[in-house]
Structures are given as structure tokens and as C-alpha cells.
Structure 1
Amino acid sequence: MRRIVKELKNRDEINSEYKWDIEKVYENTEVWEKDFNKLKNMALGLKEFQGKLHNAEELLEFLKLDEKVSRLANTLMIYAFLKSDEDTANTTFQALKNKIEIYSAELMTMGAFFVPEILSLGEESILKEIEELPDLRTYKFMLKNILRRKPHTLSREMEELMASVSDCLNAPSSIFSMLTNADIKFPVIKDEEGKEVELTEGNYSKYIKSKDVKVRKDVFEALFNTYSNYKNTLATSLTSSIKNFAFNAKTRKYKSSLECSLHPNDISTEVYDNAIKAINDNLDSLHRYVKIKKKLLGLDEIHMYDLYVPVIDTPKSHIEFDEAVSIVEKALAPLGEEYLSIFNQGIDNRWIDIYENRGKRSGAYSWGCYDTMPYVLLNYNYELNDVSTLAHEMGHSIHSYYSRREQPYIYADYTLFCAEVASTVNECLLINYLIENEKDEKKRLYLINTQLEQIRTTVFRQIMFAEFEKITHENIDKGIPLTSEDLCRIYHELNVKYFGKDMIVDKEIDMEWSRIPHFYSDFYVYQYATGYSAANSFVKAISQNGKESVNKYKGFLKSGGCDYPINILKKAGVDMTTSKPIEDTINRFKELLDMLDK
């Protein structure tokens, strides 16, 4: 009997209407190459300003040229990286990506004199230059922020050296991405109907939620056992990335890698530690969730692969993308007509690359630059979770749209601390809309569980990741080596602590650290939890105060990076220096548990 396997489409088999309009950036690689050569010629002019920045006019001219160079480099990078992500096995775009990546390191060396020279001038001299030339006032916050970094800035020669090795220091992330996206192949598994399907990172999220325990157990074991086959390579890749970050922190005279990560955005290490503490103090609510889930699923024992299965039986969802767009649009209505018009502009103008194809980068993201559209990569799989991902990534993109529209180039990028707020506001509005408008009690309970899962995965899970990062970085900072066995042990112990005595922590989960790309963006993940908590505060205010709170929220979206993130949020009505936003989110989690555990 002939075996039938459901295979992924190749990139060229997908209609252009379902792909992002990346050709709007560059029509083809030839045009890209012309701009690349233009960039190289233009960038040579940067060196001519070395030693002249004490003069206000020269400083202004340098900043203008630096903006032109940076904007062109960013545009080149967006095209190369996004084209490469369309099909990670495409060697043409691998080469293009490598080319701009290598040159970016060279470009950094050309302007490496800027920060040391500004620091040598000092605050008094800089403020005098700004007074002499009013056109420099735009740059005041940026310049004062640089002066804050004086204790951690190196000599010009050392800054040039650090810039020149940046590409090498990013190698672990590139190796991880290539190994997990292009080279690792997962086994064929059987779905609920017994049909053979090629397992991918993209469809794993679908099958791990299967009501058939055999299906979810099989995909769980297939995925993590495949990663386990590469555990030593993946451990070396991750620990090398951590060592590189530790090297950077030590070289720049920070007390720790954590301080090095948080200091540029004026966030104290206590904010990070307090987030971990707030969750650890409330793990009993997560333990209760596991216990309720075990009871509602009718299980004698609950395993890690049971975590994602809905506790309430509902008909299988198959939500076409157009329907997903309609649902999200209705959910975002409280944000007003202007916000909705930007959302629809993104749909109509092909910001989004919608469906999975062979070789396409897994997961989802929003990415673009000042002179491109804020693009969205999806791997849409017709599930409710995919609708939520659409809302989430468009939250990022509309945040970027507002920031780039309202801020000058130098302040158009928001910080990582603020990055997850806008995306999660959209997620919260979506799930609240679905719960409020569902008449069927069974489906409503399903949605309540979905919101519980959002909080579990976005707050509890991300803080567990953050705690894993804290432990691993502290070990490396102290010079303690970590093997794959060490990483698995640390990860296993955290799962035992977080999920409690009712959960059977299967050995396969010990390898989960090896598939988390965010671990290569040091100390990023805790911001999902702080972001969710801030978002929860915004949504609560919008539901209570309407237009007044919407305007404050839009003020946050328009602020970009014109101030430190804690200040931007505080101005919009959310104080992240306190534990209140996280505690409010945990209280919402407890309320939802009460609804579920009737």
C-alpha cells in the first residue's frame, strides 16, 4: 500500500497574495547590490569627522550622515534577512544575509570613535554645543544617555576592536538558527486520523494540543528526542553565546551580565529579581492550575505533554485567515478607528507572510525599519492560537508604525522592555472579546482556559525561562562551565519547582532549553512577563475609562525610545517599579481558576 505523507509546499507554490511584499524594499538582488555599494562609499565619510565633534556644526553634520548610513544599512539588512527567512536553505539569500552581516561589523568600526569622543568632551561641553546650535536639541536625550555609559565605555581602539569582532560574537546565534531551521529534520508522525504527517516546529504546537494522548505523547517525544540527538552541539552553541555576553559585560566593567543588559535602559536589576520573586511567591496558583487540569482531563497522572491540551472539549477549529482578520478587527475596536485603519492597511498592503513553506523560518515575528513596512512573519495553521499570534504580531507592527511616524529616526525604535506591551494588549483584548461574546458555556470555559494558558505561558513560563537565564549566566560569570547535562539538570529542577508535586516532569522536557531562540538574546524573556503585566493594566484602564485611557495608551505607542522605558510607561499610567502590575495579573489568573473550578 502506498504511503501518503502530507508534505509542506515549496515557496514558489504559494500565491503572492499570501506573502509579504518584500519586493517593495528591493525589486531584486541587483538593485540591492547597487545600494550596498552606495552604502560602502557613503560610510567612508564617517571617518572624516573623527576628532572634530567638539565643533557643534561638525557634530550635527556627523549625526546627519550617520543617520543616512544607518537607515540604508538597516534597509539592506531587512531585505537580506527576510528573504533568507522565507527559505533558510536558499544559498543566494544566505550569502546576501552573510554579506550585510559581515559589513555591519565593519560599519560599526567606522563610527566607533563617536561614543568615546562624546565621552571625552563631557556633559558641560555637550550642553554648550547644544546651546550654540538649536538643531542639536533633538539629540539631547541621546547624547545625555551616552554620557551615562561613561564608566562602561572603552578607549577608541578598544571600541574599534569590540566592533570588529561583533560578527564573531554573534556566531552562536547564527549556528543555532541554521541548525534548527535548516538542518534538523523531525520524524513523520501520525495525526488523530492515523494519517502520516511530517513533524515540524511549525505544526508541533497543533499536535501537542491534541485530545488524543498518544498523538501528543508521540510528538512530544519525537520533537525532544530529535533535539537530544544534537544536545552537545546545542549546549556548546548556547554556552558559547552566554560566554560571549559575559565577556562583553566583564570587558565593559559591569558587575554582572544582568546589569550589563539592563543598565542601558536605566532598569535596575531589582526589577528583574522582583519579577522572579513575585512569581516564586505565587507558584501555589500554578500548582493549583496543574491539579485542576489533571482533574478536568480525567487523568490518573499528568505529564508535561498534557499541559497544552484544552481542558474543555470543543469542536475542532479551522479558522481561515480572512476570518481571523475579522475576529481580530472586532476585538481591537476599543482602540478606536485610527488604530483599526492602520491594522487594515497592514492587511491590504501585504505586511504579512502568512503560511508555512519548506525551509521557512519557524515561529513568528514583527520586523522592519524606519524606511520599510513593519513586516510580520507568520506560520499560520488555522488554529485559535494562530489568530492570537496575528493579533500579537500586528500589535508589534502597529507600535512600530506609530513610533516611526511620530518620532525622529534616532528615537523611532522602542526598547525591548516596552516591546511586548503593545503585542500583549492586543492578545488580552482578543481573549476578553471572545469570552464576553461566547454564549455557549462549554466554549466559554474553553476560552477561559485559553486565557489561563496565556498567563501561564507568557508570565509563569517566561519567568521560569528568566530564572534559567539568571542561573546559567551567573555560573558562566563565575567561570563555572556548563555541559548539556548541567543545562538539562537546571532545567529539570526548575520544572519540578514551577509545576509542583502533581506534575510528572518527563525527562524529554529537560531538553527544552535547546529550542528556545530567545536565549540567544540575553535577558529578553522576562520582558514578556513584565510586558503582559503592563498590558493587563492598560486593558483594564481602557475598559474602565474608555477614550481617556486609549489616548494615554496611544501616547505610549507614539513614544518610541524618546525616554527610558520605565518613564514612558509611568507617563501612560503604568508603574513598573512596583510589583502591582504582576500581582494584578496573578490575581486575574486566580479569578479565572475560580471560574474553571466550579
Structure 2
Amino acid sequence: MNSNIKNRDEIEDRYKWNLGAMYKSLEEVKQDMAKVQELLEQFKSYGGRLDNRETILEALLLQDQCDQLMEKCYTFAHMRLDQDNTNTESLALFDQVKTLYVFYSETFSFFIPELMKLDYAHLQSYGQEEKFQDYRHFIKEIGRNKEHILSESEERILSSFGELAGAPKSIFQILNNADLKFGTVTNEKNEPLELTHGRYQLFMQSGSRKVRQAAYNELYRVYTSFKNTIAQTLGNSVKKDCLWARLRKHNSALEASLFADNVSVSVYQQLIQAVHNNIGYLHKYIDFRRQVMKLPELHMYDLYVPLVTELNKEYSYEEAVETMYQGLSHLGETYLQDLKQGLENGWVDVFENKGKTSGAYSTGAYGSHPYILLNFNHTMNDVFTLAHEAGHAMHTYYSHRNQPYRNASYTIFLAEVASTLNENLLIHYLLGQTTQPKEKLFLLNYNLEQYRTTVYRQTMFAEFEKMIHERVEQGGSLTPDSLCEMYYDLNKFYYQGVVLDDEIAMEWARIPHFYNAFYVYKYATGFSAAVALANQILSGEPEARARYLEFLSSGGKDYPLELLKKAGVNMETPQPVEECLRTFGQRLEMAIQVPH
């Protein structure tokens, strides 16, 4: 493995994505940006004129045309910057696109409120006409939202408070990312290193328990010293959520948040209950972890250590791709051929280069093929990352290919299903291939940690969010002590078998997601749906694969729960979460049987 990071021009073209498939030159992008401005000026003329079907249809078609071009410009600009953040041309282009995006958002701001004012029965009748068929779901959404939209003057007032409403989140981000300074931690080589958020994750995976404990204690020492300030920011964020829900005539902040996806509160409650019913599997996993680590007792800082350190096995990118194809063979020849065609024709940016954005993601604009950014480093984890991002890319590819623009985008609620299903299929394949105990335990540990951190941990977060919002809605207050007490008690239930140091009571203070309320539950439901769908496909259930491929092609043409039902998973019952956690139990039994 070459430790020297190359300049971008030193990497072979076959390992770079082909942005030329979107735009051949910066001049072409700028032409489209100028076209967006022209279309926005045209769109302004529809203000106050949305009073008949022909004008409304014209406005919808013009908005789609403008949206597609804006999305294409934005996607290209951020990818061009991500491939090399030091490129001044790319920086300038992205700044220009962001400025245009502000103008674009302002221009369209009148559109939905004006449609909301119309007689909904008339709008519904338009939706029955063939020329409006691509807009039926959009029209249905207007009707569903109507009772929660205020008068024009009230909406303007609410909108003007937008920046203030976001203050708790922005204050926390500045405090957490800029102002909080942690001390130093001495690593395994006896070197003092400054503790940062990124290094904390690395320290938690250290083979040295002394290093893990020192990092853990230092991190929470600093958060504890700011507990009054952070309790105020989180408390005010929760109050804002509750106030906004009340103003928009929802029964609770939870109901208001779930409304966007047309998800009932019972889905959220059933997730928590199903996890409670299957908490024994987590406790058994904790005991298994303690035994493998040969520790008399387990502390919270022992939970992230890999039970098997990264295998010495290295994968070339080509080997990783071939391994992924084998793992995804259950999805059928058409899926594999479409994916192969993409990977061989400029979808993927494979290796790290100087200035390249870290991590991995998949993105795409309607009318262009999807793209995948990787920083491939030849490990088993990188093979899983490739499969994960390929899942996102194929979901985008099929949805864009089969849906009109207005219905092509799938919601966040569904976003992790395709990616996680691919990882499940790959794990199943690799476990069937390996005969080496160390490799088998590595794979199982990787998978078990996915369940622990995505289903159990995110559900615990979701339960905490529910508790703190209910406390405010019932007239209570959120003090540092009450937040710590609630959070500590949850950990006591979820992590039975772990020695709970006092520090864990402060973990709520460092979770950014709590400022984007009732979001994290989607990780747990998405993961559970993916496991259920993967199990159906692997069992050879007739039609399971066809239903799943139809799901990938559905974009956002219906509400997420309805699309999942058609795929074969009903998230309105506890069954998928129960099945997911039973699968966790089965994988745990497999791990227990591996010699270690």
C-alpha cells in the first residue's frame, strides 16, 4: 500500500469519475447558470396569476425545467470541488452556484403558498387529468399540508424568525466545532496528541485500554464543564420544536416531525417497543464482547474496540469490485450488468488524492448518471463501503430512469435501505466463503456493530428525544441534572452488563443530531427494512427480488411507508424490527461459535 498521497493528475483516468458526461467545460456550466437566471425571471411573472389549470401547469413545467438545471449545476460544482478542494477555479464556481441557489430559493417562495390558497377540490380535479399525471402526488401533498399552513402574513412572520429558530443549533455547532478545546491524550507510542473529535473515534478503537479511558475521561471532563451552556442550547432547541408544532396545529413535536413523511407516531413508538422487547440480544452481545476482550468488566470506552483488528488481507480495487458482484448476485443479471456498465464508464472516483474530500458518498442529478466518491484504501471495510455506495447509486439510477423528474427523488426515510441491503447481501456471501476463524469473526464483529450502533444506539437516541420533548410539552424544564438523569437511566437499561461511569450521563451534550429532532429513528427503521428485504431475497421467496427492484425504480412517487409495503415490508407493524433483531441474535450465535 502506497502511503504517499498523489496529486490528482498522477492518478489514472480509469480510476476517476467522468464529470465530462455532465459538462464538457466550465463555459457550458456557466451557460446553464445563465439559463437558470432567465427561467427564474420568467417564473416571477406567475406571481398572483395561479388561477387556472393552464397557468398552473405552465408554472409547474417551468419550475421542473429550472429545478433540473439548478440541480445539475449544483451537483457538478460540488463534485468538481470535492475532487480537489485546492482548485481555485472550482472554489469560485461553487461560490457562484451557491449564490444562484439563494436567488432560486427566493424566487420560488411564493409558489406553494399561492397554490395552498386555491380551492383544493379544483386542484384535485386537475390531478385527474392526464396532462397533470406527473403532479398527482405533489397535489396530494398540498391537500395534506393545507390545514398546517397559516395565513400569508403569519407564514411571513414565521419565516422571518427562521434564523433565530436555528440559533440553538448554530450556537451548539460553533461551540462544539470551534470553541471547545480538549486537552492531550498520550497514545500507545507514549506521544502526547491533542484530543479532537476525529481523534476521539480513533482513541476509542485503540488496543490500549489506558489510552481509551484517558480519551473518554478527558472528552467528558470538557463537556461537563460546559453542561449549563449546552443544556440551555438543547433546551431552547426543544422549546422551538414544541412551539413550531403548536403553531402549525400538530398535537406534538414528534407528530409534526413525522408528518413530512406521512408517518404515524405509532411507527416511532413501535420501534422503541420492539427494541425494548429484544434488548436481551444486546446484553448477550455485551457479555460476549467482554469475554473475547478477556476483561473482568466492560466500560463504555470498551465498546468500540474491534474484536479482530483489520485483517492483513488487502484488496485491489478490481478485486473489491469482483467480490461485490459476487455478493450482489442475488439481485439478478440485469442489476449486475447495469452496475457493471456504470462502474466501467466513469461513475466512480476511486482513490485519495491531495485536496480530495474525505469519506464516501453517492450523488447524482436527474438526466445524468449517478456518481460515487470513494477514498479506497484496499481494506475489507473499503469493499463494504463500495457496496454501500453502489446501493445508493443504483437506487438513484433506477428511480431517475423510471420516474418523471417531479417523482424521481426518494426521501431520507428510504435513503439507507438500498445501501444497507447491499451490505447485508455482501456479508452473507463473505461468511459463506471464509474458512478462517479470524476472518469470520472480523466479518461478524463488523456486522454486529452495525446492528448495535444503527438499531440499538439510534433507537436509544430516539427514545431520549421523545422523552425531552414530552417533558417540555408537559410544562417541565430541561436542566443539566434532569438531562443527565434521563440519559443515564436510558444507558442503564440499554447497556446492562456495562459498568456505567458517571461520564456517560453527559453524552447527550455532544450529539449534533439532537438539534435536528426526530431524525435518527430513520437510521433504525431503514436498517430494519433492509434486513427484512435482504432476508426475503436470500430465502428465495418468489417475487421478492422483483418487488425490491420495483422499489428501486419508484423514487418518491408515493409515501415511503407505502413504497416499502409494495416491496414486502410493513413498517407500520413491529414485525420488521423484530425480525431484524432476531437476525442480530442469529449472527451473535454464529460469532459465539467461532474459536477465539
Q: Which amino acid aligns with 1:50?
A: G
Q: TM-score, normalised by structure 1?
A: 0.84
Alignment of 1:380-391 (within 5 A): 380=376, 382-391=378-387
Greater alpha carbon shift after TM alignment, 439-448 vs 285-294: 439-448
- Partners of 2:87 and 2:247 in 1: CA distance: 37
Structure 1 unaligned spans of 5+: 1-5
Q: Distance in 2 between matches of 1:303 and 1:403?
A: 45
Residue range with higher mean Cα deviation, 112-121 or 65-74: 112-121
CA contact (8 A) 2:413 2:526 kept: yes
1:74 aligns with 2:58: no
Deviation at 1:304, TM superposition (A): 1.6
* Alignment map for 1:237-316 (pairs within 5 Å): 242=238, 244-311=240-307, 315-316=311-312
Instruction: Provide the secondary structure at the position in 1 that maps to 2:423.
Output: helix
| Cα distance between partner residues in 2 of 1:102 and 1:166 | 19
SS where residue 523 of structure 1 aligns? coil
The answer to which of 223-232 and 115-124 deviates more is 223-232
Tell me which residue corresponds to 1:494.
Answer: 490
Deviations 1:203-228 (A, max 9, x none): 76555334343454455556666777
Q: C-alpha displacement at 1:317, in angstroms?
A: 4.8
Is residue 6–residue 352 contact of structure 2 (8 Å, CA) maintained in 1?
A: no
Q: How far 1:562 sits from its partner (Å)?
A: 0.8
Q: Relative to 1, partners in 2 of residues 1:291 and 1:472: Cα closer, same or farther, differing over 3 Å?
A: same
Residue number among 144, 148, 173 corresponding to 1:152 in the alignment? 148
Q: In the alignment, which of 376, 393, 415 is matched to residue 397 of structure 1?
A: 393
Aligned AA (2:427): I
SS in structure 1 at match of 2:259: helix
What's the offset of the Cα at 1:242?
4.7
Q: How does 1:12-27 map to 2 (within 5 A)?
A: 15=11, 21=18, 25=22
8 Å CA contact 1:419, 1:531 repeated in 2: yes
1:466 match: 462
Q: Please say if 1:115 is aligned against 2:108.
A: no
Over 3 Å counting, the alpha-carbon distance change for 1:493 and 1:391 in structure 2 is farther
Q: Is the contact made by 1:105 and 1:167 (CA closer than 8 Å) also made in structure 2?
A: no
Inter-CA distance 225–326: structure 2 relative to 1 (3 Å threshold): farther
In structure 2, C-alpha distance between the alignment counterparts of 1:90 and 1:240, rounded to whole Å: 40
User: How far did residue 8 of structure 1 move?
Assistant: 9.8
2:39 to 39, 42, 51: 42
Contact kept in structure 2, 1:258 and 1:523, CA below 8 Å: yes
Q: 1:473 to 1:354 in 2, by over 3 A?
A: farther
SS for the counterpart of 1:597 is helix
| C-alpha separation in 2, matches of 1:166 and 1:373 | 35
Q: Distance in 2 between matches of 1:177 and 1:520?
A: 10
Deviation, structure 1 residue 26: 5.8
Moved more, 408-417 or 324-333: 324-333
Instruction: State the match for 1:3 in structure 2.
Output: none
Against the structure 1 CA distance between its residues 433 and 514, is the aligned structure 2 distance closer, same or farther, given a 3 Å change threshold? farther
Name whichever of 192-201 and 282-291 sits farther off: 192-201
Secondary structure of the corresponding residue to residue 366 of structure 1: strand
Q: How does 1:125-274 map to 2 (within 5 A)?
A: 125-131=122-128, 133-160=129-156, 162=158, 208-218=204-214, 220=216, 242=238, 244-274=240-270
Q: 1:414 to 1:542 in 2, by over 3 A?
A: same
Query: 1:371 Cα deviation (Å)?
Result: 4.2
Q: Which moved further from structure 2: 134-143 or 237-246? A: 237-246
Match of residue 124, structure 1, among 117, 121, 138:
121
Q: Indicate whether 1:522 and 2:514 are aligned.
A: no
Deviation by residue 1:142-198 (Cα, 9 ceiling, x = unmatched): 202211111101223444555566566567666766776788888886766678888
| Structure 1 residues 407 and 468, CA gap change in structure 2 (3 angstroms) | same
Post-superposition CA distance 1:272-322 (Å, at most 9, x none): 111011112222221121112112211012122221223357754554544
1:464 shift after superposition = 1.3
The aligned residue for residue 411 of structure 2 is 415
One-letter identity of the residue aligned with 2:57: L
Change in CA separation of 1:525 and 1:437 when aligned onto 2, cut-off 3 Å: same
CA distance in 2, matches of 1:328, 1:426: 9
The match for 1:561 is 556
| CA 1:110–1:421: 2 relative to 1, 3 Å | same
Question: Across the two proteins, how many residue pairs are aligned to each other?
Answer: 591
The answer to whether the 8 A contact 1:109-1:160 is kept is no
CA contact (8 A) 2:124 2:139 kept: no
Mean Cα deviation higher: 113-122 or 347-356: 347-356
Distance verdict in 2 for CA 1:312–1:73, change over 3 Å:
closer
Query: Once structures 1 and 2 are overlaid, which stretch shifts more, 199-208 or 566-575?
Result: 199-208
Query: Is the CA contact 2:8–2:354 (under 8 Å) kept in the aligned structure 1?
Result: no
Say whether the 8 Å CA contact 1:84–1:90 is kept in structure 2: yes
Correspondence list, 1:401-480, <5 A: 401-475=397-471, 477=473
Aligned residues of 1:76 and 1:100 also touching (Cα < 8 A): yes
Q: Alignment partner for residue 326 of structure 1, among 322, 326, 334? A: 322
User: Residue 66 of structure 1 aligns to which amino acid in structure 2?
Assistant: Q
- Unaligned 5+ segments in structure 2 are none
Change beyond 3 A, Cα 1:130–1:290: closer
Deviation at 1:595, TM superposition (A): 2.9
Q: Give the 3-state SS of the residue equivalent to 2:119 in structure 1.
A: helix
TM-score by length of 2: 0.84
Give me the whole-angstrom Cα distance separating, in 1, the residues matched to 2:203 and 2:20: 34
User: 1:577 maps to which residue?
Assistant: 572
- Alpha-carbon spacing, 1:317–1:243, altered in 2? closer, same or farther (3 Å): farther
Displacement after TM superposition at 1:57 (Å): 1.1
User: 1:589: which partner in 2?
Assistant: 584
State the one-letter code of the partner of 1:68: Q
For 1:541, give the aligned amino acid: Q
Cα distance in 2 for partners of 1:485, 1:317 equals: 48
Cα shift at 1:372: 4.6
1:547-568 Cα shifts (integer Å, max 9, x gaps): 7321110001111111111111
Find the aligned partners of 1:35 and 1:263 in 2 and give their Cα distance: 35
In structure 1, C-alpha distance between the alignment counterparts of 2:146 and 2:276, rounded to whole Å = 36
* C-alpha separation in 2, matches of 1:7 and 1:346: 29
The CA deviation at 1:577 is 1.2
After TM superposition, give the deviation of residue 125 of structure 1 in Å. Answer: 1.2
The 3-state SS of whatever aligns with 1:545 is coil
Percent sequence identity is 41
In structure 1, what residue type is equivalent to 2:577? I
CA distance in 2, matches of 1:181, 1:90: 25
Query: Using a 3 Å threshold, how does the CA distance of structure 1 residues 380 and 445 change in structure 2: closer, same or farther?
Result: same
Distance 1:91 1:356, change over 3 A: same
2:549 maps to amino acid = K
Q: Counterpart amino acid of 2:452?
A: R
Matched with 1:537 is: 532
Distance in 1, Cα, partners of 2:579 & 2:8: 47
Aligned 8 A contact 1:416 1:524 in 2: no
